[in-house]
Structure 1
Amino acid sequence: MAEIVLTGLAADDPVPGEYAQINFAVGELGIGNGQYYALLIGNLLSSGAGSTNTLYGPDTAVSMTSEQDAITLFGAGSELHRQVRRFLQINQTTPLYAIAVAEGDSATAATGTITITGPATSAGTLRIFIADEFCDVGFVTGDSATTVAAAAVTQINAKDHWPVTASNASGVITITTKQKGLRANFVRYFAKIIPFSGSGVGVTPTTSTLVTGGTVSDDISAVLTTIVARRFYYIAPAAQDQTQLVALFGQINTQALPLNNIRQRMVAASVDTLANTITIVDALNGARAEMVWLQNSDMPPCEMAAHNAAVYALEESPFPPKLNFNFYGDGQNDQWRIKAPLSGTAPTRSQIKAALNAGVTPIGVRTSGRTYLVKRITTRYKNGSVVDYRIRDAHKVTVCDRYADDLQAKQAAQLRGSLLADDPKKNEPIVSGGSTNKVVTPRVVKALVDRLTDDYAEDAMLQNAADIKKGTQVQRSGVNSNRVNVSIPLQPIDVLDQIANEINQVA
């Protein structure tokens, strides 16, 4: 039997411990005891009392356990405040942490204008949409454009959690993003008059419009240094540019190696075109990264990432965790809160198919206006230049990580401090260390592994348990006599994607 080798674990490495390496999509082409914390990464405002590159959460020196804490630390309406707000609206179970990345040097805010005309000839309402929320401003006969605009500015600025501030000049409302940088350009806005005509008041734009003028990307490198030694299983970055996402994902992959033993996942989001989203996904192409996509969504992508991370963490917190997220939001999922784009756009079936075949997790839109998660997948869809969908389903990562966490915990609890011997040959006595020393052999280790495999199969997380156990190899290392090597051909259960019915009328 060939020696089982783990990356980075040299034959002459004497440090005791239980090590695990998960190899996704191996073979021919064709919740456990760990801690599953969540981490949000985004910008803060100067009005916040917190610092950049500093971790905040339930057990940090300065704690963060509520939305009010996020407001105090990061500033009302900051990127991080809004990410925390989205997460906590859905999930107050998962321990949540946040860390601020500094805005880019010389970054600029984005702006947009809403132009009011008047005067009002009858009473009515001006409705202003910012992101996926709105406020109503009433007006009466005789109100000038400036009067209506001034009232609207007061309403907008009273929404402390909104990502913009507003000012008025002769009926022209200028909205300015609180946060600076390229990501500020993803804030959408527009307005309309109710009733639609006859009030004498007009407004533009009346269709969903992006603010413009935000410049300069930020740099996540200092944040990565801060979090490198901590495990945050669900990491939701605000970053939208390929450079930052690839840097974060690279660290996640490195930390998952056996000697680091920190298995994590990234949940990012995009509201850009599918083509631009696929470009970023191509650069990631990994099992530990996910990219949620809904083009023209009024929810900024940083908040969409936080929203989905909250959903996943909440649904995977029980044991066994939820594995099939197909059509999530279609049923009675009160925690699903993504609205259909106010522009009226929706991904077509061909776009959804293309997204799923290119490592993008699409959000669909029903004709009723309800949105839903079509299918949760990883960004890993290629092996080099060859299409390879063996680890497309994101639940397979969940199962493998939980299994690895449980296996290491059980090995530590039951086998640490033991002595190691070969399996006894036929008719040889079993080696016993008496009451003082426990002696472990490869056969004992395999029995522990097989029991865990059976447990996961009983919980409908694994399939073909007999084949897994038959293929599990446990060997005493031939190059390091103090080591037992284990190789497990894990087979996570499949999710039901399709039912194909053929109905033939024959009478």
Structure 2
Amino acid sequence: MADNVSFREIPADVVVPGQYIEIDGSRADSGTPPIPRKIIIMGQKLATGAAVTAVPTEVPVGTVDQVVQLGGRGSVLAQIAAEAFKANPYGKFTVIASDDLAAGVAATGSIVVTGPAVESGTISLYVDGTLVQIGVTKGDTGIQIAANIATQINANPDLPLSVPVAPTTATLALVAKHKGECGNDLDVRDSFYLGQTLPSGVILVTTAMAGGTGNPDVGPLLAAIKGDDRIVLISPWTDSSNVVKIEADFADRYGPMKQQESHCFAGISGTYATLVTYGSGRNSPHISIVPREGNMVSPWRIAASVAGLCSLRGSADPARPFFGMVLPGIPAPAESVRFDQPTRNNLLKYGLSTLRYDAGGNVMIEMVTTTYKTNSFGVPTRAYFKLQSKWTADYFRYAWKVLIATRYPDFKLADDGTNFAPGQPIVTPSVLRIETIGLARTLEYAGIIENVDEFKKTLLILRSIANPNQVNAVASPNLVNQFDIFAAAVKFIN
């Protein structure tokens, strides 16, 4: 029979003498709940990689060696993992590998060497930002130097390209280890830093990597992580076919019936006009694109570093700016190819994120945006212009959901004013309103939302007319913004 107190675990008809005390942890947690995010790394593996295609594998934090084994040395998968682990040494990582597209074509390039060397010295060659040093002896011919360059490149299996055929002339042919478009973004150059010069008499003419075609299909990889909540995805593929699938999948996850809030980071390279064209063609709150500004390292490595940093800070405080966070180990591009302030301002308007650089050569995040620029009616909007807006709104939703789910998981529902015993597990709309306002105050104190007094005025919580077992609610939290700009006028007086 019903009593004035209802227990979850103690049966109402127990008659055996004893002391029966259940422990309920539904009110044990206070403050704001931590929001879990899983970082998922997608990328191509080499034939030497042990990973099973389209099978997610969790990896311990920072264990790059395990990912190297899964993807193979020099694989895109291993490259992304190395940068993400450096940027976020505390993240929870899962990797999921793809084979190269069978019909794909590997990118190629070349280096033509002119000799002989008039003096001995060292060639400082950079392959995807990794230094390869080649010794040169006075009198070495172009053919000898080319052979030595090929030997040193092939001696480093972690490089994303190789020289498969030993050169017999002064030209060495570079071939990407992966088939696909990713090889087109592999950078090869020499003597990048001040003081680095080629030995006298030696000239290197590098033909940029090009001709790579065909990307893997991201569809099977997305299907393999279908049930995962709150993903930070790092994708090396930015072709429209794959990006459309990611956008659609993440839009479905973001809806109220799944609430698996997820976000994708990717990097692209190209001229300003190319970047503007790309940004104009995308419109999703679920992806952030980071352009490469003539940098030596591949765009997916830059995106991986940005994703790691954003997930690190976003898990602690979703509203805090990412401005000034340093991408560890990523070299800055030459000053002559960096975007100026007006260019970066325009790129942001097209939904592309931006980086900046300090005097010491550090690469830093300037702003992380999404590509969402117009709503479903085609009207311009800034609703999801910045990633913080999306992550902060989702944090409010998550905290609200956790509150209701932990405090009232098996309660009964009654109208306000119902006369029931204080020990009865019954909740009313007014109680839920009080709890929600209390949550808002907590989030205000934590710097997540502001203006709670106005929030209280607009908060609507009432029992459904159509379904007596349902409570309907509408909340309008005022998200805390970021201090991005300080504008002032100085009107001096002589």
- State the TM bucket, normalised to the shorter chain: 0.7 to 0.9
Greater C-alpha radius of gyration = 2
Match of 1:479 in 2: 466
Q: Which amino acid aligns with 1:325?
A: F
Cα distance, 1:460–1:339 mapped onto 2, change above 3 Å: same
Match of 1:494 in 2: 481
Match of 1:308 in 2: 306
Percent identity over the alignment is 21
Question: Whole-Å Cα distance in 2 between the matches of residues 192 and 264 of structure 1?
Answer: 41
Cα distance, 1:282–1:482 mapped onto 2, change above 3 Å: farther
> In the alignment, does 2:405 pair up with 1:412?
yes
Question: Whole-Å Cα distance in 2 between the matches of residues 293 and 149 of structure 1?
Answer: 33
Match of 2:41 in 1: 40
Kept after mapping to 2: 8 A contact 1:94/1:317: no
SS in 2 for 1:168: coil
Cα shift readout 1:9-38 (whole Å, capped 9, x = no counterpart): xxxxxxxxxxxxxxxxxxxxxx73432110
Question: Whole-Å Cα distance in 2 between the matches of residues 389 and 285 of structure 1?
Answer: 12
Match of 1:287 in 2: 285
Using structure 1 for the length normalisation, give the TM-score.
Answer: 0.85
Equivalent residue in structure 2 for 1:431, among 414, 419, 440: 419
Kept after mapping to 2: 8 A contact 1:43/1:103: yes
SS in 2 for 1:200: coil
Question: Whole-Å Cα distance in 2 between the matches of residues 219 and 343 of structure 1?
Answer: 37
Match of 2:147 in 1: 150
Gaps of 5+ in 1: 1-30, 425-429
> In the alignment, does 2:180 pair up with 1:188?
no
Cα distance, 1:400–1:199 mapped onto 2, change above 3 Å: same
Equivalent residue in structure 2 for 1:131, among 128, 135, 151: 128
SS in 1 for 2:315: coil
Quote how far apart the aligned CAs of 1:295 are: 3.1
Kept after mapping to 1: 8 A contact 2:112/2:204: yes
Question: Whole-Å Cα distance in 2 between the matches of residues 222 and 241 of structure 1?
Answer: 16
CA-atom RMSD in angstroms: 2.2
Cα distance, 1:361–1:267 mapped onto 2, change above 3 Å: same
Match of 2:10 in 1: none
Quote how far apart the aligned CAs of 1:449 are: 1.1
Quote how far apart the aligned CAs of 1:386 are: 2.4
Cα shift readout 1:130-175 (whole Å, capped 9, x = no counterpart): 1122221121223232332222222212222211112433232222
Quote how far apart the aligned CAs of 1:465 are: 1.4
Quote how far apart the aligned CAs of 1:373 are: 2.0
Quote how far apart the aligned CAs of 1:477 are: 0.9
SS in 1 for 2:144: helix
Match of 2:440 in 1: 453
Match of 1:226 in 2: 224
Quote how far apart the aligned CAs of 1:115 are: 1.4
- Bigger CA drift: 183-192 or 292-301? 292-301
Q: Which amino acid aligns with 1:173?
A: L
SS in 2 for 1:374: strand
Quote how far apart the aligned CAs of 1:365 are: 4.1
> In the alignment, does 2:491 pair up with 1:504?
yes
Gaps of 5+ in 2: 1-31
Question: Whole-Å Cα distance in 2 between the matches of residues 127 and 173 of structure 1?
Answer: 16
> In the alignment, does 2:330 pair up with 1:338?
yes
Kept after mapping to 1: 8 A contact 2:161/2:175: yes
Match of 1:392 in 2: 385
Match of 1:169 in 2: 168
Quote how far apart the aligned CAs of 1:317 are: 3.0
Kept after mapping to 1: 8 A contact 2:265/2:289: yes
Question: Whole-Å Cα distance in 2 between the matches of residues 296 and 200 of structure 1?
Answer: 28
Equivalent residue in structure 2 for 1:248, among 243, 246, 249: 246
Tell me the matched-pair count.
Answer: 458
Match of 2:294 in 1: 296
Match of 1:373 in 2: 365
> In the alignment, does 2:346 pair up with 1:349?
no
SS in 2 for 1:49: coil
Cα distance, 1:434–1:500 mapped onto 2, change above 3 Å: closer
